[in-house]
């Protein structure tokens, strides 16, 4: 963000980030996102100027790299975004998070074999806020490592408790791109797993297809290290990115998750059915387990089973639920075909 006097013409010459720079023999390019608050047009106090430029900066990031946005903002977005950012800072400081868990089901037997941990933000005014609304901003603000550590510590604590009561589930959780690239990721993660006394093979780390392919060589090394330590790896949202099959075959991956957009359309879209069958066959050929997301109907379940997809999750079985409801899920037993979704809760 940038706070300046009204002499805007000088800004054009001052910001020169279009030229590459070199480190050793490698050439790099940098881009900027600038939020501008002008004194005294936008505010007369330094605190107000900084708040306005902070809000403008987030608008410039949303517009794309290399942009700048002038404050004041329109009533739509600017003030609301600023308030949201302030609330997020407070949420990070006070750890206002909850983990909800969605079962992963063996589609042949109907047994629950795993749980996916999904973070929620418990806000006093808005209630539960889904991760799609705050994780991107948390990444921009540099909070994702702190939030990620909380997620891991909390799910490890829950995993300990479940195992003590005979619930032997694999627990999966998502790593964002910035978490994956943290230089001490493996040490931070494995030290927590060791301290909790949890078997690493009971944890499944999920990264998106686009994250895996952003820097495949680096990803391959990171995933291999985590897998050698006993952790399991899944590629999430497969089919929505731009995978190189030659790269995919070299990644240390155990599970290939089929994106819900394909599963949603299989009852009425021949192309979607072809895509799902192709991904299932690809996963099996690479020694990975295919897992379908977003199952909402019995017809989808039957199609996936007929296509040799052995794992799945979705609202047909159960929506994500708080940790204290997992015991009820275990006592419930297996899901069966032809059972009403309403009866399943």
Is residue 299 scored above 70 in pLDDT?
Answer: yes
CA count, 13 A, side-chain hemisphere, 99: 24
For domain 96-332, the CATH architecture is: Alpha-Beta Barrel (3.20)
When pLDDT is averaged across residues 145-150 and rounded to a whole number, the result is: 91
In the structure encoding, which two tokens stand for residue 123, read together? 């806000």
Element holding 186 (H helix, E strand):
helix 185-196
d(CA 254, CA 244): 17
What distance in Å separates the CA atoms of residue 345 and residue 51, rounded to the nearest whole number? 45
Output the CA torsion sign for 30, 31, 35, 41. positive
Residue 273 has pLDDT above 80, yes or no: yes
Instruction: Kindly report, as residue ranges, where domains of CATH 3.20.20.450 are found in the chain.
Output: 96-332
In terms of average pLDDT, the best of 20-24, 240-244, 300-304, 321-325 is 300-304
Tokens representing residue 169 in the block: 């589930």
Residue 4: predicted pLDDT:
44
Q: Are strands 255-258 and 232-238 parallel, antiparallel or unpaired?
A: parallel
Do residues 68 and 3 lie in contact, with contact meaning Cβ atoms separated by under 8 Å?
no
Taking CA atoms, 310 is separated from 100, 110, 141, 236, 297, in Å, by 23, 10, 39, 16, 16
Higher local confidence (pLDDT), 340 or 22: 22
Contacts of 286 (CB under 8 A, 6+ apart): 248, 249, 253, 256
Share of the chain above pLDDT 70, in %: 76
- Indicate the SS3 state at residue 238: strand
Per-residue confidence (pLDDT) for residue 289, from 0 to 100: 96
Q: Which pTM was predicted?
A: 0.74
pLDDT surpasses 80 at 263: yes
Q: What is the pLDDT of residue 250?
A: 79
Q: Is the pLDDT of residue 77 over 80?
A: no
More confident of the two residues 52 and 316: 316
- Whether pLDDT at 212 is above 60: yes
Strands (E), 15-169: 21-23, 26-28, 33-38, 67-70, 97-106, 112-123, 127-129
Q: Which of 9-13, 83-87, 301-305 has the highest mean pLDDT?
A: 301-305
Structure tokens at 57: 């900066």
pLDDT computed for residue 145 by the predictor? 85
Query: Is residue 233 within a helix (H) or strand (E), and if so which, with residue range?
Result: strand 232-238
Average of per-residue pLDDT values in the chain? 81
């Amino acid at each position: 963000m940038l706070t300046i006097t009204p002499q805007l013409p000088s800004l054009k010459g001052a910001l020169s980030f279009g030229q590459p720079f070199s480190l050793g023999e490698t050439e790099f390019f940098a881009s900027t996102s600038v939020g501008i608050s002008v004194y005294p047009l936008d505010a007369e106090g330094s605190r107000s100027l900084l708040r306005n430029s902070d809000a403008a900066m987030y608008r410039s990031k949303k517009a794309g790299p290399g942009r700048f946005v002038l404050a004041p903002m329109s009533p739509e977005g600017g003030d609301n975004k600023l308030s949201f950012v302030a609330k997020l800072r407070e949420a990070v400081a006070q750890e206002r998070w909850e983990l909800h868990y969605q079962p992963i089901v063996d589609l042949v037997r109907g047994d629950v074999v795993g749980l996916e941990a999904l973070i929620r933000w418990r806000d006093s005014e808005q209630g539960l806020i889904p991760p799609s609304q705050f994780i991107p901003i948390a990444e921009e603000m540099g909070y994702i490592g702190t939030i990620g550590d909380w997620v891991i510590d909390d799910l490890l604590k829950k995993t300990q408790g479940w195992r003590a009561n005979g619930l032997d589930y694999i627990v999966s959780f998502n790593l964002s791109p910035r978490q994956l690239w943290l230089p001490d990721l493996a040490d931070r993660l494995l030290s927590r797993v060791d301290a909790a006394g949890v078997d690493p093979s009971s944890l499944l780390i999920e990264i998106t297809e686009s994250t895996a392919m952003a820097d495949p060589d680096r990803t391959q090394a990171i995933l291999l290290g985590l897998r050698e330590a006993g952790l399991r790896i899944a590629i999430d949202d497969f089919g929505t990115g731009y995978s190189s099959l030659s790269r995919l075959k070299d990644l240390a991956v155990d599970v290939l998750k089929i994106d819900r957009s394909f599963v949603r359309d299989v009852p009425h879209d021949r192309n979607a059915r072809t895509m799902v069958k192709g991904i299932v066959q690809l996963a099996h050929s690479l020694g990975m387990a295919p897992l379908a997301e977003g199952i909402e109907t019995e017809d989808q379940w039957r199609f996936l089973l007929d296509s040799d997809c052995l794992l799945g999750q979705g609202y047909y079985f159960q929506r994500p639920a708080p940790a204290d409801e997992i015991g009820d899920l275990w006592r419930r037993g297996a899901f069966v075909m032809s059972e009403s979704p309403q009866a399943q809760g």
